[in-house]
């Protein structure tokens, strides 16, 4: 029956995966609208249970992924080329790097570039002052009084006082931990697996293909379909959270520029408009749509970065970028294993920040992974891993250092100007625009920032619709455009539902849903590491594991060797 329906609609997909995924998402949307309170309560309870009992598993998992990737890149498998030993990259390094940002990391940079450092500056993660900060935010009258009160919060010996130099170092260290190697390890692991099984074994771009060493041809049976449906649903919600965050930020920017009201009707309208733009980009295709938009947007983002660097305290920021890199590297190993263990009852800080980030990122990982694999054919495993980990992380270090230290510097010289709206009022989405009010040409720069977020939003939705379509069909070659349009529209519907049909604050609702959906993806990721190593050992000949120069030398020796009698 599903196959007949597929033919009637002119689709080219796996009908069981496509229609089951669409139906389950539709059921969620209806239940969220009709049973709002029950859905809120269910996800809230499940999210709290995961943060309390399995937060350590999320922390251990992401650190394990990073260690595994570094090992496989530097091992003898690093010479293996994705697509065969003679394959070469389809895209140059600059274009490849720009398209990595099309996968959605740009939205993260814009939303959290100011918001996270300022939050940690006011509430140092290792000091355990959450309750005091929350109480002060309610009792302090003005933003200036709030900032003054933060500096007077008593802390234990050796802990950072809010808004102090130690707090600034913690703010930068934790921010880079959240958006550095660990985040990109979550993206890189499935990307490498997708690329390997698609280009070396000729399997479809589906999550079930990663399990081929274990399941064999059963990846095309019921077990494989369950895996793929789960991946599609998780990916849709992961992308929807990103779209939701971008929507909140766009709404905040439009409010600052034109006084447009902040609220759910406006946010739904924003999602509708940007989804329409993304749909047009979908119709244009990968090379004309995503590639063109991502190249434009990365240069706009770099332009904004340079403006902040030159218009702010330039020397302070140049020194700070170098120092921030050192702060991050020195804190990398301790934070990779930190679990918010002491005091015994825990402070709960990590569940609301790190655990949420890892859960959100890993639900997004199949989307980013397939997209990165799609644009990375021909690269060696070593080049792939070090490139996907290295280039975006280097840019993130510069970005968060410049924006984070600029925000901290502004707060130092004008107490309350940023911690007031961002921390005391809890308006995280307005952080960037409150920050930009301290720079010249404010309205122009704010307008450009809104445009950057819109384009990042568009390329995320555009890329996601292509990838979700590949997850349901496994076909990377010219699927019907109507399929990608369907997924682009559905992503917008899910994002609008998460924001509008929940009884809680939008950001809190997004966090709780994604924390729950992230759990099965961690289990899949651990199996991915095993399957990838097993496949490499089964498929790759010893000679291919040698460096290319050595292989060429051996080939020349064979050519010169006398023919056997």
CB 118 within 8 A of CB 422: yes
pLDDT over 90 percentage in the chain: 43
Q: Is residue 203 part of a domain?
A: yes
Q: What is the pLDDT of residue 530?
A: 96
Coil, helix or strand for 380?
strand
- C-alpha distances in angstroms, 387 versus 20, 244, 366? 36, 29, 18
pLDDT of residue 504: 47
Beta-carbon-side half-sphere exposure of residue 187 (alpha carbons within 13 Å): 29
pTM (two decimals): 0.88
Average pLDDT score over residue span 289-307:
79
Q: State residue 84's pLDDT score.
A: 74
Q: How far apart are the first and last CA of the chain?
A: 65
Higher pLDDT: 427 or 107? It is 427
Is the per-residue pLDDT at 503 higher than 50?
Answer: no
State the pLDDT at residue 208: 93
pLDDT in tens, 481-502: 788 888 888 888 888 887 776 5
Total domains present in the chain:
1
* 462 φψ region: left (φ > 0), alpha (ψ -120 to 50), beta (else): alpha
Would you state the pLDDT for residue 442? Answer: 94
Q: What pLDDT does 350 receive?
A: 86
Position 143 in a domain? no
Above 80 in pLDDT, residue 331?
A: yes
Query: How many Cβ atoms sit within 10 Å of the Cβ of residue 154?
Result: 8
Lowest mean pLDDT across 274-283, 381-390, 541-550: 541-550
Is 140 a residue whose pLDDT tops 90? no
Q: Is residue 552 situated within a structural domain?
A: no
pLDDT for residue 288 is more than 60: no
Count how many Cα atoms sit within 13 Å of the Cα of residue 385 in the half-sphere of its side chain. Answer: 25
Question: Is the pLDDT confidence value at 555 over 70?
Answer: no
Predicted local confidence at residue 311, as pLDDT: 95
Q: How far apart are alpha carbons 158 and 509 in whole angstroms? A: 35
What are the tens digits of pLDDT across the range 201-212? 989 888 999 999
> In the structure, what pLDDT confidence band is assigned to residue 146 with cuts at 50, 70 and 90?
very high
Q: What is the pLDDT of residue 341?
A: 79
Of 278 and 250, more confident: 250
The predicted pLDDT at position 53 comes to 87
For residue 46 the two structure tokens come to 């499940």
User: By C-alpha distance, which of 219, 218, 222 is closest to 207?
Assistant: 219
Predicted confidence at residue 179, as pLDDT, reads 93
* Whether the Cβ atoms of residue 149 and residue 188 lie closer than 8 Å to each other: no
User: What is the pLDDT at residue 344?
Assistant: 47
Helical pair 381-413 and 106-122, crossing angle rounded to 10 deg: 40
| Mean per-residue pLDDT over the chain, rounded | 85
Domain CATH number, residue 427: 1.20.1740
Mean pLDDT, residues 110-138? 91
> Per-residue pLDDT for 62 more than 90?
yes
Q: What are phi and psi of 342, to 5 degrees?
A: -105, 140
Amino acid 565: pLDDT = 52
pLDDT at 123: 93
* The predicted structure's pLDDT at residue 367: 79
State the average pLDDT over residues 46-61: 89
Q: Model confidence over 411-469: pLDDT tens digits? A: 999 999 999 999 999 888 899 999 999 999 999 999 999 988 888 777 777 777 877 88
DSSP, residue by residue, 172-198? HHHHHHHHSHHHHHHHHHHHHHHHHHH
Q: What is the pLDDT of residues 512-538, one digit of tens each?
A: 777 888 888 999 999 999 999 999 999
Q: Is 339 exposed, middle or buried (0-12, 13-18, 19+ CB in 10 A)?
A: middle
CA distance 493 to 488: 9
- pLDDT, one tens digit per residue, over 230-269 is 888 888 888 887 788 888 889 999 998 889 998 888 999 9
Considering 4-18, 116-130, 395-409, the range whose residues carry the highest mean pLDDT is: 395-409
Supply the DSSP symbol for 261.
P
Residue 139 lies in a domain: no
Q: For residues 365 and 105, is the Cβ–Cβ distance under 8 A? A: no
- Specify if 142 maps to a domain: no
In a domain, 155, yes or no: no
pLDDT score at 185: 96
Checking if the pLDDT of 103 tops 80, the result is no
DSSP string across 191-227: HHHHHHHHHTS---SSGGGGGHHHHGGGGGSHHHHHH
Residue 138 lies in a domain: no
Does residue 135 register a pLDDT over 80?
yes
Examine residue 165 and state whether it is found in any structural domain, yes or no.
no
What is the total residue count of the chain?
Answer: 565
Mean pLDDT of 128-134: 87
Above 70 in pLDDT, residue 36? yes
Residue 380's DSSP bridge partners are 81
Query: Side-chain half-sphere of 297: how many Cα atoms within 13 Å?
Result: 31
Q: What are phi and psi of 197, to 5 degrees?
A: -70, -25
Higher pLDDT, 103 or 535: 535
Give me the domain span that covers residue 31: 2-111+180-547
Answer yes or no: is pLDDT of 305 > 70: yes
Q: Read out DSSP for 154-173?
A: ---TTSPPTTSHHHHHHHHH
Q: What is the mean pLDDT of residues 131-136?
A: 90
């Amino acid at each position: 029956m599903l196959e007949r329906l597929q033919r009637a609609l002119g689709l080219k997909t796996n009908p069981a995966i496509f229609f089951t995924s669409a139906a389950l998402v539709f059921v969620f949307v209806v239940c969220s609208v009709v049973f709002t309170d029950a859905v809120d309560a269910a996800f809230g309870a499940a999210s709290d249970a995961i943060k309390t009992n399995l937060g350590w598993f999320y922390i251990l998992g992401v650190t394990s992924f990073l260690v595994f990737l570094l090992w496989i890149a530097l091992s003898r498998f690093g010479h293996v080329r994705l697509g065969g030993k003679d394959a070469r990259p389809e895209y140059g390094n600059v274009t490849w790097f720009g398209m990595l940002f099309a996968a959605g990391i740009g939205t993260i940079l814009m939303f959290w570039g100011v918001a996270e450092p300022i939050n940690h500056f006011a509430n140092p993660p290792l000091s355990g002052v959450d309750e005091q900060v929350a109480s002060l935010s309610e009792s302090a009258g003005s933003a200036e009084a709030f900032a003054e009160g933060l500096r007077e919060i008593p802390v234990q010996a050796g802990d950072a006082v809010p808004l102090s130099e130690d707090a600034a170092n913690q703010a930068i260290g934790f921010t880079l931990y959240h958006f550095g190697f660990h985040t990109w390890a979550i993206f890189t692991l499935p990307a490498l697996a997708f690329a390997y099984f698609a280009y070396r074994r000729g399997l479809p771009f589906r999550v079930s293909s990663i399990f081929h060493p274990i399941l064999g041809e059963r990846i095309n049976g019921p077990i494989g379909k369950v895996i793929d449906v789960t991946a599609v649903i998780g990916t849709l919600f992961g992308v929807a959270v990103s779209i939701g965050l971008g929507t909140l930020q766009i709404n905040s920017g439009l409010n600052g520029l034109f006084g447009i009201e902040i609220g759910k009707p406006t946010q739904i309208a924003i999602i509708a408009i940007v989804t329409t733009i993304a749909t047009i980009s979908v119709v244009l295709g990968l090379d004309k749509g995503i590639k063109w938009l991502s190249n434009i947007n990365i240069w706009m983002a770099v332009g904004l970065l340079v403006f902040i660097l030159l218009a702010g305290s330039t020397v302070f920021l140049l020194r700070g970028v170098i120092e921030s890199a050192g702060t991050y590297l020195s804190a990398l190993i301790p934070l990779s294993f930190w679990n918010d263990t002491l005091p015994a009852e825990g402070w709960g800080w990590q569940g609301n920040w790190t655990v949420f980030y890892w859960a959100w990122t890993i639900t997004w990982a199949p989307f980013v992974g397939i997209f990165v694999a799609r644009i990375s054919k021909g690269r060696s495993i070593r080049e792939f891993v070090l490139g996907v980990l290295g280039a975006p992380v280097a840019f993130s270090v510069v970005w968060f250092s410049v924006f984070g230290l600029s925000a901290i510097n502004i707060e130092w010289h004008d107490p309350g100007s940023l911690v007031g709206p961002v921390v005391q009022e809890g308006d995280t989405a307005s952080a960037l625009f409150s920050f930009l009010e301290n720079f010249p040409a404010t309205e122009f720069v704010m307008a450009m920032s809104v445009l950057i977020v819109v384009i990042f939003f568009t390329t995320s939705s555009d890329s996601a619709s292509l990838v979700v379509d590949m997850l349901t069909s496994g076909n990377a070659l010219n699927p019907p455009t109507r399929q990608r349009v369907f997924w682009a529209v559905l992503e917008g519907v899910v994002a609008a539902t998460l924001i509008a049909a929940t009884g809680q604050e939008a950001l809190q609702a997004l966090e709780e849903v994604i924390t729950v959906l992230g759990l099965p993806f961690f289990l899949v990721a651990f199996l991915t590491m095993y399957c990838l190593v097993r496949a490499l050992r089964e498929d790759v000949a010893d000679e291919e594991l040698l460096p290319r120069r050595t292989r060429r030398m051996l080939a020349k020796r064979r050519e010169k060797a006398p023919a056997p009698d």
